[in-house]
């Protein structure tokens, strides 16, 4: 039996999809959540100076999408053909694009510049992505790919809550299929249990 140790910050972000997939698969994992001063010490020891990292039997994995894809394929959440995997990966990379936009916004230390950027994000950039993702879910029976649950559903669901907290706006609420998708995932018994037990965090 493998041992899993996830190291990330005390936020949902791109660590949350990994936590969700491990929970879904019924795997016990060490959920290490570090603070800023610990991070400064740990950073030089990570593969590329970033979190999350996941240790599987002591072997260090990095990059959240690569980790989710690997775990997903291990736990029956991958595509059943190269073509299906392509659909999953195109969505995952698109979610990463949104993540990069969000992280750039959130890390902007100059509060005035940040507020100046907010309307464009809220009214243009994020709706542009959400409209298209909503339509993909609509056309795929409530999931992102081919009417079935895959790892990229968790990749989006885990991250989208952080996106809303960062924007301080329930931006997903306008999109019925995204909301339905979120609810469907939350009602999976293993995920329901994980959500009720997980530490409460601001973002």
What gap in Å lies between CA 69 and CA 78, rounded to an integer?
A: 7
Question: Residue 193 is encoded by which pair of tokens?
Answer: 């249990």
Of 5, 10, 55, 70, the one binding a second copy by CB under 8 A: 70
CA–CA separation, 56 vs 162, rounded Å? Answer: 26
Question: 47 near 60, Cβ under 8 Å?
Answer: yes
Q: What is the 3-state secondary structure (H, E, C) of 24-60?
A: HCCCCCEEEEECHHHHHHHHHHCCCCCCCEEEECCEE
Residue selected from 10, 89, 146, 180 as contacting a second copy according to rule CB under 8 A: 89
- Residue 65 interacts with a second copy (CB under 8 A)? yes
Residue 104 contacts a second copy per CB under 8 A: yes
Q: Is 82 in the site for a second copy (CB under 8 A)?
A: yes
Out of 5, 27, 63, 122, the only residue in the binding site for a second copy (CB under 8 A) is 63
Q: Which of 10, 129, 148, 203 binds a second copy (CB under 8 A)?
A: 129
Q: Which of residues 130-159 bind a second copy (CB under 8 A)?
A: 132
Contacts of 57 (CB under 8 A, 6+ apart): 2, 3
* Cα 138 versus chain centre, distance: 20
Closest to a second copy by CB, 10 vs 96, is 96
Tell me how far apart the alpha carbons of residues 77 and 185 are, in angstroms, rounded to a whole number.
Answer: 13
Smallest distance from a second copy to CB 64, Å = 8
By CB under 8 A, is residue 169 in contact with a second copy? Answer: no
- C-beta of 193: minimal distance to a second copy in Å? 27
Q: Which is nearer to a second copy, 49 or 141 (CB)?
A: 49
- The nearest distance, CB 161 to a second copy, in angstroms, is 21
Smallest distance from the beta carbon of 94 to a second copy, in angstroms? 5
């Amino acid at each position: 039996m493998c041992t899993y140790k996830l190291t990330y910050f005390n936020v949902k972000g791109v660590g949350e999809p990994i936590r969700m997939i491990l929970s879904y698969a019924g795997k016990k994992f060490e959920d290490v959540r570090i603070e800023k001063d610990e991070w400064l010490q740990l950073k030089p020891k990570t593969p590329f100076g970033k979190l999350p990292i996941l240790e599987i039997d002591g072997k260090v994995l990095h990059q959240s999408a690569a980790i989710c894809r690997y775990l997903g394929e291990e736990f029956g959440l991958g595509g059943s053909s190269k073509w299906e995997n392509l659909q999953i990966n195109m969505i995952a990379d698109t979610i990463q694009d949104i993540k990069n936009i969000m992280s750039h916004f959130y890390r902007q230390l100059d509060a005035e510049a940040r507020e100046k950027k907010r309307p464009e994000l809220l009214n243009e950039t994020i709706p542009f992505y959400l409209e298209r993702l909503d339509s993909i879910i609509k056309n795929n029976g409530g999931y992102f790919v081919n009417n079935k649950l895959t790892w990229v559903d968790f990749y989006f669901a885990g991250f989208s809550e952080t996106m809303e907290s960062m924007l301080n706006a329930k931006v997903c609420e306008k999109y019925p299929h995204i909301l339905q998708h979120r609810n469907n995932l939350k009602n999976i018994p293993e995920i329901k249990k994980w959500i009720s037990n997980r530490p409460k965090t601001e973002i």
